[in-house]
Amino acid sequence: MFEPAEIHSLFDLSHTAAAALLQTLRYPWEALPKIGALILELGRSLPAGEYELRGENVWVHRTATVFESAYLHGPAIIGPGTEVRQCAFVRGNALVGADCVVGNSTELKNVILFDGVQVPHYNYVGDSILGYKAHMGAGSITSNIKSDKTNVCFHAGGEQIETGLRKIGAMLGDHVEIGCNSVLNPGTVVGRETTIYPLSMVRGFVPPHSIYKHAGEIAERK
């Protein structure tokens, strides 16, 4: 067990509609196979006066803005005040919270975005969970499958946790900042209020309240 990578260490669950699911689990990647079913369950209970059904199993809050060129595939929920901008590609199993930005040419697949998340420019976010007000700079992506296609293991502090999953992107804690054109390797977990420098290649666990400059150089945030 590795406590800093546990759900309660990474997220404030008051900022997501996925709270009921997440609070039953230990590690965030355990939620990934359950996102689709969760969205279907939530979607069927959403008030029709607040959410509009746009296509099969796609619920969009009436205060959200979805540009005509954006593509939404269900199951998906787009929360209040969220913007889904030009040419965004939501491939399905996407639970997007309130006041988020899904930017131009950004692709989402099997994700939970907490409230206030911004993935605004040319991002790929797959099989990932992004905490409250997490932000990914332009061109930064989550790599969600290993080159040898074997299951992803989580590595931190000499520990190894077998996830049993072939596809895991990144788990970003609340208020994480990812610099432009960074790559988050499969199974990356970034603790709360941590900043990743631009052009970084990140793997494993990055502690909370820190600044990741490059592999081997992580400074404590003061």
Angle (nearest 5°) at CA 125 between 181 and 66: 105
- How far apart, in whole angstroms, are the C-alpha atoms of residue 106 and residue 84? 9
Residues 6+ apart with CB under 8 A from 17: 42, 77, 79, 95, 97
Q: Which of 8, 61, 73, 121 is catalytic?
A: 121
Is residue 135 annotated as a catalytic residue, yes or no? no
- How far apart, in whole angstroms, are the C-alpha atoms of residue 96 and residue 76? 8
| Dihedral of alpha carbons 148, 201, 15, 124, sign | negative
One-letter amino acid at 152 equals V
Question: Which amino acids are annotated catalytic?
Answer: 121
